Amino acid sequence: MNHDSHNPSHKRVKLKVLGISYSQIQTGAYALILAQVNGPYRIPVVIGAAEAQSIALRMESITPPRPMTHDLFVSFAHAFGVKLKEVFIYKFEDGIFSSELTFSDGDRTVVIDSRTSDAIAIAMRTSAPIYTTPEIVEETGFVMEVQNTEEDTDEHSNAEENDIVVEETDTDLENNDRYHEPRLEQYSIEELERTLKKLIDTEQYEQAAKVSEILRNKKKK
């Protein structure tokens, strides 16, 4: 496999795991939130329940009684002296992120294709860096507004440093209902932009991703 990750001159964007947003309305739907390091962008990646649980456990430094699949994979790699060098999210197509894992045993380097959710779960267990392209950030990312008050700024800073899992409140769920109305396609561009801003402000990234896709399609017409 020969992606731009092997070209050192290619500009890349470093990411970190910010949190997981999930909704009780849509069973099994989770959004992994990746944040641009030293930048304003946030990227939502829709993942499955098992991967969300695996990532959440690692974020909160919880060790399960028995190793989970990603723990087993990392233990296997370490046992044979193989190290994960990096994760590279190299493509976004049809709503799906594609990633690759770069492994090395000191003598040779091997690149393996992976689901992004699995790649992130493994990277979190090995402290491996996560990268993507500027194009993917521009296409899928949201810019988070910086709060003006010192208290809010501290709150956001602590949340990022501690990688807190974000759980929706009842109010969030009500808002989720409101924004999950049918016929979003019939909204004007201005209405979609206002809706998108509200969803981002309330950290409802999964719904925001859907609205953003509709908005992009409208602007192309």
Per DSSP, the residues of 104-125 read: E-SS-EEEEEEEHHHHHHHHHH
Position 100 scores a pLDDT of: 98
The b/e string for 154-182 (b: 16+ C-beta within 10 A; e otherwise) is eeeeeeeeebebbebeeebeebbeebbee
Position 42 scores a pLDDT of: 93
φ, ψ at 145 (rounded to 5°):
-75, 135
CATH of the domain spanning 4-167: 3.10.690.10
- Cβ atoms of 154 and 181 within 8 Å: the answer is no
Within 8 A by CB and 6+ apart from 98, the residues are: 89, 90, 91, 92, 113, 116
Domain edges within the chain: 4-167, 168-221
For each of the chain's 221 residues, which pLDDT tens digit applies? 555 444 444 689 999 999 888 644 345 568 899 999 999 999 999 888 888 888 988 888 888 888 899 999 999 999 999 999 999 999 999 889 999 999 999 999 999 999 999 999 999 999 999 999 999 999 999 887 655 444 444 544 444 444 334 433 333 433 443 333 335 676 778 877 888 778 777 767 667 777 777 887 878 77
Position 205 scores a pLDDT of: 65
Say how far residue 140 (Cα) sits from the centre of its chain.
10
Position 8 scores a pLDDT of: 43
Position 193 scores a pLDDT of: 83
Position 210 scores a pLDDT of: 75
- Closest to 103 measured CA to CA, from 115, 93, 113, 111: 111
3-state secondary structure of 87: strand
Position 3 scores a pLDDT of: 57
Model confidence pTM above 0.75: no
- Cβ atoms of 101 and 112 within 8 Å: the answer is yes
The conformation of residue 186, written as its DSSP 8-state character, comes to: G
